[in-house]
Amino acid sequence: MNWSIEYYNSDIEKKILSLPNGLLARYLRLTDLMLEFGSNLGMPHTRFLEDGLIELRIKSKEGIARVFYCTLIGKRIVILHLFIKKSNKTPKKEIQTAKKRMRKVLENDT
C-alpha cells in the first residue's frame, strides 16, 4: 500500500499551488518521494519537531519554505500548514498553528 497525501483544508492546497515555481517544483518532487517511500525522507528534506509534527524543508533560488505535516494510520500524510521562511529561526506562532491543526486532525480521525 502506497502513502497518500491529504490537505488540512483547500486554502492550504491553494497556498502551496501558488508558491513560486522553484519552490513548487521542489515541493512536488519531495511529495512524490514521500508518496513512494513514506513520510520520513530524513535530513535535509524532513525533520521531526515534537509531538508527531514533521516539517518538510523546501529550498530553491526563490527562498525557503516550510510545510508542516503529520501522519495518520493507513499511511496517510496530512499537510497542516505552510509558510515562507524569512528568518533563521522558525517563528513559534507558525509551529503553534500547525500543532493546533494537528490536534484537530487527530481528534477527528478516531
Contact status, residue 8 vs residue 81, Cβ threshold 8 Å: yes
List, in order of start, the domains of the chain with CATH numbers: 4-109 (3.30.2310.20)
- Three cell numbers written together for 53: 509534527
Question: So what's the pLDDT on residue 31?
Answer: 93
Spell out the long-range contacts of 31-37 with Cβ–Cβ below 8 A and sequence spacing 24 or more. 31/5, 31/56, 34/3, 34/5, 34/77, 35/2, 35/3, 35/4, 35/5, 36/2, 36/3
Helices and strands, counts by H and E, the chain: 3, 5
Q: Is 51's pLDDT higher than 90?
A: no
pLDDT tens digit string along 7-35?
999 999 999 999 999 999 999 999 999 99
pLDDT tens digit string along 56-109?
999 999 999 999 999 988 889 999 999 998 888 888 898 999 999 999 998 887
Q: Is 1's pLDDT higher than 80?
A: no
- Mean pLDDT, to the nearest integer, of 41-53? 90
Q: What is the CB-side half-sphere exposure of residue 62 using CA atoms within 13 A? A: 13
